[in-house]
Amino acid sequence: NAGVTQTPKFQVLKTGQSMTLQCAQDMNHEYMSWYRQDPGMGLRLIHYSVGAGITDQGEVPNGYNVSRSTTEDFPLRLLSAAPSQTSVYFCASIPSGRASNEQFFGPGTRLTVL
Amino acid sequence: GENVEQHPSTLSVQEGDSAVIKCTYSDSASNYFPWYKQELGKRPQLIIDIRSNVGEKKDQRIAVTLNKTAKHFSLHITETQPEDSAVYFCAASKMETSYDKVIFGPGTSLSVIP
């Protein structure tokens, strides 16, 4: 298994541009989530999904859209990038079957918005 | 919604000493409390978790205690080693009953001085 993968690793955008951060997992995990990490603020939940076709908002959803058309993929879309969205973005997933609640994180995407 | 506070934000200890990190949560319905460790430049990884029907859990040098009445939980690391230096995050969730959002605290940067 490749685990949780994220692309790209680094991205620089200009204000107003849009882009999609990709997240995929090959472990058939039902639960997936997106966090942003900023210095001194920990990991803040953007959106999460409990299965294909189901998404919900987290703590800081404004400016971001998600969809979950397949179990494997959970892309995060920035509609119109702003400097305040400069951050490190982590995708995570939890194994199905409820035996464990451990979140497995991807390697992260470092985004800079100029 | 759930709010998780964490103290201290930074902690320095001598190698061999103990370290304690404390967290409080706001939602009395939360029933799952994980702790994640993030080394510099890496992704967060689960180190220990506790469920609301348990008051204490140990795993070698680390232990977590939970006080449901006071809505606080703590991480204890004994006999600290330089490799324990990292940022530690606590989190709270209602994950034990159904898939739910996982809300993190702002983190504690632990430095173990050789």
Choose the mutation target among A45, A56, A100 for the interface with B, i.e. most B CBs under 10 Å.
A45
Assign A100 a pLDDT band (cuts: 50, 70, 90).
confident
B43 touches chain A (CB under 8 A): yes
Question: What integer pLDDT is reported at residue B54 of this predicted model?
Answer: 83
Question: What integer pLDDT is reported at residue B99 of this predicted model?
Answer: 83
Instruction: Write the burial class of residue B28 (CB in 10 Å: 0-12 exposed, 13-18 middle, 19+ buried).
Output: exposed
Residue with tokens 């232990």: B63
Average pLDDT, chain A: 94
Assign A93 a pLDDT band (cuts: 50, 70, 90).
very high
Chain B closest-CA separation from residue A4 CA (Å)? 11
Q: How far is CA A87 from CA A10, A90, A112, B98, in A?
A: 11, 10, 7, 30
A38 touches chain B (CB under 8 A): no
Q: Is the pLDDT of residue A2 over 80?
A: no
Question: What integer pLDDT is reported at residue B70 of this predicted model?
Answer: 95
Assign A107 a pLDDT band (cuts: 50, 70, 90).
very high
- For residues A101 and B111, the model is more confident at B111
The residues, any chain, with a CB within 8 Å of residue A98's CB and separated by 6 or more, are none
Whether residues A45 and B34 touch (CB distance < 8 A) is answered with no
Question: For chain B, which residues score pLDDT lower than 70?
Answer: none
Checking DSSP bridges between strand A4-7 and strand A10-13, what pairing results, if any? unpaired
Question: How remote is the C-alpha of B89 from its chain's centroid?
Answer: 5
Q: Is residue A103 within 8 Å of residue A4, measured between CB atoms?
A: no
Assign A73 a pLDDT band (cuts: 50, 70, 90).
very high
Whether residues B34 and A56 touch (CB distance < 8 A) is answered with no
Question: What integer pLDDT is reported at residue A94 of this predicted model?
Answer: 92
Whether residues A101 and B32 touch (CB distance < 8 A) is answered with yes
Q: How many CB atoms lie within 10 A of CB B53?
A: 9
Nearest to residue B105, comparing CAs of B61, B44, B51?
Answer: B44
The residues, any chain, with a CB within 8 Å of residue B60's CB and separated by 6 or more, are none
Peptide bond into A95 cis (omega under 30): no
Count CB pairs under 8 A between chains A and B.
Answer: 55
B34 touches chain A (CB under 8 A): yes
Q: How many CB atoms lie within 10 A of CB A14?
A: 8
Whether residues B43 and A108 touch (CB distance < 8 A) is answered with yes
Tokens linked to B57: 């859990």
- What secondary structure does DSSP assign to B20-88, as a single string? EEEEEES-TT--EEEEEEE-TTS--EEEEEEETT-SEEEETTEEEEEETTTTEEEEEE-S--GGG-EEE
